Amino acid sequence: MNRYYLYCIMCNLLTCFILYIPNVLIEQRFDGALMSMILGIPISFCLAGTFLLVMRRVPRMDLASYLRTLLPRWVFLPFTVYQALMWFAASCGAIGELTLVLRRYTVPDISFTMLLLLHLAAIAWAASRSTKTVLAILEIVSLLCVPLMTFLVLKAWANERISWDSIYVLTDYVVQPPTWMGLAASTYVFSGYVNLAVFHKVFRHPIGWRSLLASVVMGTGVLFTIVLVPVGFFGTYGVADFPYISASTADSMRLDYGFIERVLYLYMLCMLLSMLNFGMMIWHVGIEMLKTCMPARLLRTNVREQLFALSVCLLLSIATLLFFNLLDEKSMLTWTTGWLSFRLFSEIATVAFLALLLLRRRKPA
């Protein structure tokens, strides 16, 4: 199995604990959330499998460079810029949500703008590095955070305070029809595969089916954890009273024999590293896609490539600062849920478009 592919998947999975994914699914727990979660698994498997089949046809090459050889320029440029903007939008909500939660629970004396600026500076520096450097950072942070988060998840499931009766109540609503919003939130958990669009160019071997199955198993575990564990801790109805449900769940646990008693601090440390890792990965993917749209003569030296990457990061930082200073928390939730809904439509359309290109290329002349 290609470990870097799994690191991309794990990075995306860890962000689901801090994003609004649990809030969306818990809000719809009586209106089709469980069926949306169940159906989201095969839908995501099909999307990821189709995407991997496309990428297997372009060994040691990123998706944008491959499309540039197939599509006319008037189609390639808007498509690639649109995909890059979708990647940047994904990181925007994640960074803002992390900053809000971190400020509320750990450092309330620091202003939101200052804390967000520190996060953006760290992400901008890391995202402007080379692809191999980004993958190395991704590996280091994943090896630090994944074992810790796995321990916290297992501790949550084994906690004596969890009410299995509350979880069992939700099974009465499993037959409720799924909703588009529920499917959008559920499939986002599995969407880490899209980062192969750039990182595939440094992989020596194509991604195998074992890696795909492993990612689906991990995603399924995370998907049911972020919904059912809070329900078990706070009750079928009481769970809706918490705006930051994952952080509140972590704060409900204690380490009896640890040097840090409150699990919240370990959880927030893990989320901070994971979110910075996620922002670095997403920004780097978007920057690399934009590079393929630029004339080769403008980026023919490493210095020019670095200046271009830093310029994009500066624009993204300014846009993110303005965005979150103009919106309140309720507006951010509305924007994030709207983006999630549109993302699923965009992801299905993109994968279908790539599959059609692959089939067309296979046709004999």
The torsion angle over the Cα atoms of residues 26, 27, 30 and 32, rounded to 10 degrees, is -80
pLDDT the model gives residue 26: 93
Q: What is the predicted pLDDT for the residue at 205?
A: 79
Task: Supply the pLDDT for residue 362.
Answer: 60
Q: Which of 270, 286, 288, 348 is nearest to 320 (CA)?
A: 286
Sequence-ordered list of residues with C-beta below 8 angstroms from that of 264, at least 6 positions apart, any chain: 105, 247, 250, 251
Q: What pLDDT is recorded for position 285?
A: 93
pLDDT at 87: 85
Scored b (16 or more CB within 10 A) or e, 220-258 reads bebbbbbbbbbbbbbebeebbebebbbbbbbbbbeeeee
Structure tokens at 82: 């649109």
pLDDT at residue 244, as a whole number: 85
Structure tokens at 268: 């927030």
Beta bridge partners, 254, equal 262
Mapped onto helix, strand or coil, the DSSP state of residue 254 is: strand
| Phi (first) and psi of residue 190, to 5 degrees | -100, 5
Six token digits for residue 251: 């704060």
Residue 293: phi and psi, rounded to 5, are -90, -10
Class level of CATH domain 3-362: mainly alpha
Direct distance between the N- and C-terminal alpha carbons of the chain, in angstroms, rounded to an integer: 36
3-state secondary structure of 206: coil
Reference 355, options 104, 42, 46; nearest CA is 46
Tokens 């507006």 belong to residue: 331
**Whole-number Cα distances in Å, 144 to 39, 141, 225, 283:** 32, 5, 20, 21
Q: Are 20 and 227 in contact (CB under 8 A)?
A: no
Which uninterrupted H or E stretch holds 109? none
pLDDT value of residue 363:
52
Mean pLDDT, 10 residues at a time, the chain of 365 residues:
85 88 91 94 94 84 85 90 89 85 86 90 92 92 93 91 91 92 94 90 83 93 94 91 88 81 89 92 92 81 86 92 82 84 93 87 54
